[in-house]
Amino acid sequence: MASRNLGRHIFGQILLNNGRKNVFKFSGAHARCMSTQGEFIITEKKGEKQNVGFIQLNRRKALNALCDGLMKEVEAAIDTFEADDSIGCIVLTGGEKAFAAGADIKEMKDKEFAQVFKGNFLTYWNRLAGCKKPVIAAVNGFALGGGCEIAMMCDIIYAGENAQFGQPEITIGTIPGAGGTQRLCKAIGKSKAMEMVLTGNRINAQEAEKAGLVSKIFPVDQVVDEAIKTAEQIAGFSNVTTGMCKEAVNAAYEMSLAEGLHFEKRLFHATFATNDRKEGMTAFLEKRKPNFTDS
Ligand code: CO8
């Protein structure tokens, strides 16, 4: 069994900023491509068709605390994958112990109000929420503070059995600043969100699934592969249509029911202007697989 598993792994080496080589290992069907390693994240294309953009937070000693450099790298990776027509879906993950333990407290400790206000401190984090392509968070371990907030900026959350979600900002004298008071409330309701935000208490993967924060739970070593599988499925559809789907669902957060239904109907009508809508329906009636061209 061990040797068979070994056969399914690829080992690679990449040169780090400090000149040392890093050995990395990926498994199974997703092992084919080389990764790019920044100072704080690893990115690569995954999936049989290399149509999944993969971003792994990789600041393990600090439990993936979201320092400015790390979030700038995430922002750049989103820009790159969004501009890459071969990518149809993105997976964001961290490590086994921590998806991310929040914004970097060491970086924040000495900041003053005028500085954070004038500089619009950390507002650029919203880039992730604004990504036009679907993003799946694969969460193992701690997703706390900003970590929980960036998971909630994603479109789907898959959790490993050891995942823990929390907004512990109250315990360090501040409040959530990247959606923890807003997206959490919409995801799990006022009472549970208020309890988490006011106490800093965490919920585990099972509680998160029951509350609707997480769509599925997997064993720790399977959550990333499962997220990639789902991402491949999504990336197999027309990127134009998945983009419209995402916009329509997200409108439910922003609009009244009447406005949202109107917006949905307009986007539904708009699919009739695409080649992929014609191809999808024609292929169904001809009993064959559609050949989407993202047009
Ligand atoms: N920032 C900086 N460093 C951190 C952070 C963090 N958020 N979390 C962990 N670390 C570091 C620790 O300082 C430690 O470093 P060192 O080894 O140099 O001492 C290392 O990671 C390992 O941490 P621990 O020794 O504490 O590990 P434990 O397993 O004992 O505990 C915990 C793990 C429970 C996750 C614990 O580390 C913890 O409570 N961390 C802080 C969690 C937290 O309070 N997060 C919220 C931060 S505030 C925030 O996220 C606001 C977001 C606002 C965004 C606004 C955008 C617009």
Name the more confident of 2 and 238: 238
- Report CA 16 to chain centroid distance, whole Å: 25
Which residues of the chain form beta strands (DSSP E)? 9-15, 21-27, 36-37, 41-46, 52-57, 89-93, 98-100, 135-139, 142-144, 156-160, 164-166, 203-204, 216-218
pLDDT in tens, 33-91: 578 889 999 999 999 999 999 999 999 999 999 999 999 999 999 999 999 999 999 99
How far, in Å, from the CA of 144 to the mean position of ligand 1?
A: 8
pLDDT in tens, 88-109: 999 999 999 999 999 999 999 9
Mean pLDDT confidence for 255-283: 98
Shortest-distance atom of ligand 1 to CA 126: 57
Question: Which residues are part of the catalytic machinery?
Answer: 103, 146, 149, 169
How far, in Å, from the CA of 38 to the mean position of ligand 1?
A: 21
How far, in Å, from the CA of 33 to the mean position of ligand 1?
A: 32
* Bridge partners (DSSP) listed for residue 45: 53
Pocket test for ligand 1, best of 72, 97, 105 (most atoms within 8 A of CB): 105
pLDDT higher than threshold 60 for residue 222 = yes
Nearest Cα residue to atom 36 of ligand 1: 101
How far, in Å, from the CA of 180 to the mean position of ligand 1?
A: 16
How far, in Å, from the CA of 103 to the mean position of ligand 1?
A: 8
pLDDT higher than threshold 50 for residue 31 = no
Nearest Cα residue to atom 14 of ligand 1: 62
Tokens of 288: 């064959």
Spatial CB neighbours of 79, under 8 Å, sequence gap ≥ 6: 127
**71 half-sphere exposure, CB direction, 13 A CA radius:** 23
Percent of the chain scoring above 70 in pLDDT: 88
pLDDT in tens, 113-156: 999 999 888 889 999 999 999 999 999 999 999 999 999 999 99
pLDDT at 35: 80
Pocket test for ligand 1, best of 40, 63, 149 (most atoms within 8 A of CB): 63
Nearest Cα residue to atom 19 of ligand 1: 62
pLDDT in tens, 166-181: 999 999 999 999 999 9
pLDDT at 33: 54
Mean pLDDT confidence for 175-201: 97
Q: What is the mean pLDDT of the chain?
A: 90
Binned at pLDDT 50, 70 and 90, residue 20 comes out as very low
Lowest mean pLDDT among 3-12, 207-216, 228-237: 3-12
**171 half-sphere exposure, CB direction, 13 A CA radius:** 12
pLDDT higher than threshold 90 for residue 287 = yes
Find the residues whose C-beta lies inside 6 A of ligand 1: 62-63, 65, 101-106, 122-123, 125, 142, 144-146, 168-169, 172, 177-178
Mean pLDDT confidence for 13-20: 35
194-201 contacts at long range (C-beta below 8 A, 24 or more positions apart)? 196/165, 196/166, 196/167, 197/167, 197/169, 197/170, 198/170, 199/170, 200/166, 200/167, 200/168, 200/169, 200/170, 200/171, 201/166
Nearest Cα residue to atom 12 of ligand 1: 62
Tokens of 110: 């000495």
Shortest-distance atom of ligand 1 to CA 147: 50
pLDDT higher than threshold 80 for residue 2 = no
pTM of the model as a whole: 0.90
Lowest mean pLDDT among 19-23, 80-84, 115-119, 286-290: 19-23
pLDDT at 122: 86
